[in-house]
Amino acid sequence: MDARGTFALGPDGQGGGAAAPARAAGCAGCRDGQSFPVDFSMAFQPIIEPAGARVFAYEALVRGPVGTGAGEILAVVDETNRYAFDQRCRVRAIELAARLGVADQGAFVSINFMPNAIYRPELCIRTTLETARRERFPTENIIFEFTEDQQIREPERIRMILRAYREMGFRTAIDDFGAGYAGLNLLADFQPDFIKIDMGLIRGIDHDRTRRAIVSGIVLVCQRLGVRVIAEGIETAAEYRCLADLGIDLFQGYFFARPAFEVLPVPLMPAPDIA
């Protein structure tokens, strides 16, 4: 969980490096539809594209049933109910996104998962696909983010997941890029549709030449690979102007809008030429 209340679990709900019994439990969860004992819902935070004067995507963030913080929900999650929790997160995010008209705006909904999961995409994604069909929410408007702040122990499994997601019509993103173990090595092995630069590299970038040099290099590499860059955690106009000058065109952070419970917040939309 980060400061925004994001909680990313594996697509099968199992933690990294799970033993063989966990694999069996995950498959049983697919078949039996285990329940999660606590109710929860989602808040949404926009990712904006100033050049198009539009919201590009909304990230779904876990919240308590009346909008309270994620902590009380995450405290209940353990190895016996993680699969059910993960499935409920996906279902709730898609149901709300459909009800709120995210796809009608031409926007995406972004949902998190962990990379080191014990996971068979073609089986464990079924609930997500069924929910999208039921809610008439297009799968091509769903982004799955995985975070690099967990060490990736099975690179080939990640490639398999990304390939399967693309074949199913989903988009993929590396979250918190620059915060974790692998850094640019991730881009050598995995080419997602998006990366989200970690807020630790964003904070105070307008007066930090080292951070500007690092982010500028990331942007150049991603441009050559055809990967779009999202800057997250922006809190000031100066940070935004600096990042726009560096060639980034997708932005997320409190400067534009805070997460809003079960509604789509209206973000501050700076003029594209503000930088």
Place 112 in a pLDDT band, splitting at 50, 70 and 90.
confident
User: How many CB atoms sit inside 10 A of residue 245's CB?
Assistant: 12
Mean pLDDT value across residues 267-273:
82
pLDDT at 20 over 60: no
Opening angle at CA 170, ends 96 and 34, nearest 5: 55
pLDDT at 118 over 80: no
Of all residues in the chain, the percent with pLDDT exceeding 90 is 55
Amino acid (1-letter code) at residue 202: I
pLDDT at 128 over 80: yes
Q: Are 242 and 208 in contact (CB under 8 A)?
A: no
pLDDT at 56 over 90: yes
pLDDT at 275 over 50: no
pLDDT at 14 over 80: no
User: Which residues in 78-106 are b (16+ Cβ under 10 Å) and which e?
Assistant: eeebbbbbbbbbbbbbbbbbbebebbeee
pLDDT at 140 over 70: yes
Q: 195-207 pLDDT, tens per residue?
A: 999 999 999 999 9
Q: Following DSSP, what letter does each residue of the chain receive, concatenated?
A: --TT------TTSPPTT--HHHHHHHHHHHHH-PPPSS--EEEEEEEEEGGGTEEEEEEEEEE-TTS--THHHHTT--TTTHHHHHHHHHHHHHHHHHHHTTGGGT-EEEEEE-TT----HHHHTHHHHHHHHHHT--GGGEEEEEETTS--S-HHHHHHHHHHHHHTT-EEEEEEETSSS-TTHHHHH---SEEEE-HHHHTTGGG-HHHHHHHHHHHHHHHHHT-EEEE----SHHHHHHHHHTT--EE-STTT---EETS--------TT--
Q: What is the pLDDT of residue 3?
A: 39
Average pLDDT over all residues of the chain: 82
pLDDT at 211 over 80: yes
Q: What is the pLDDT of residue 152?
A: 59
Mean pLDDT value across residues 142-157:
71
End-to-end CA gap in the chain: 32
Mean pLDDT value across residues 252-272:
94
Mean pLDDT value across residues 127-147:
92
Q: What is the pLDDT of residue 86?
A: 81
Q: Are 44 and 38 in contact (CB under 8 A)?
A: no
Q: Kindly report the pTM of this predicted structure.
A: 0.84
Nearest Cα neighbor of 201 from 165, 161, 253 is: 253
Place 11 in a pLDDT band, splitting at 50, 70 and 90.
very low
Q: At what angle do helices 20-32 and 82-100 cross, to 10 degrees?
A: 40
Mean pLDDT value across residues 237-264:
97
Nearest Cα neighbor of 267 from 242, 234, 245 is: 234
pLDDT at 1 over 60: no
Q: What is the pLDDT of residue 13?
A: 34
Q: 22-47 pLDDT, tens per residue?
A: 344 444 544 444 578 899 999 999 99
Q: Are 165 and 144 in contact (CB under 8 A)?
A: yes
Distance CA 166, CA 59 (A): 19
Place 4 in a pLDDT band, splitting at 50, 70 and 90.
very low
Superfamily classification of domain 20-261: EAL domain (3.20.20.450)
pLDDT at 7 over 70: no
Mean pLDDT value across residues 180-208:
85
Structure tokens at 79: 């190895």
Question: Could you tell me the sign of the dihedral formed by the alpha carbons of 52, 57, 58, 61, in that order?
Answer: negative
Nearest Cα neighbor of 173 from 194, 148, 198, 142 is: 194
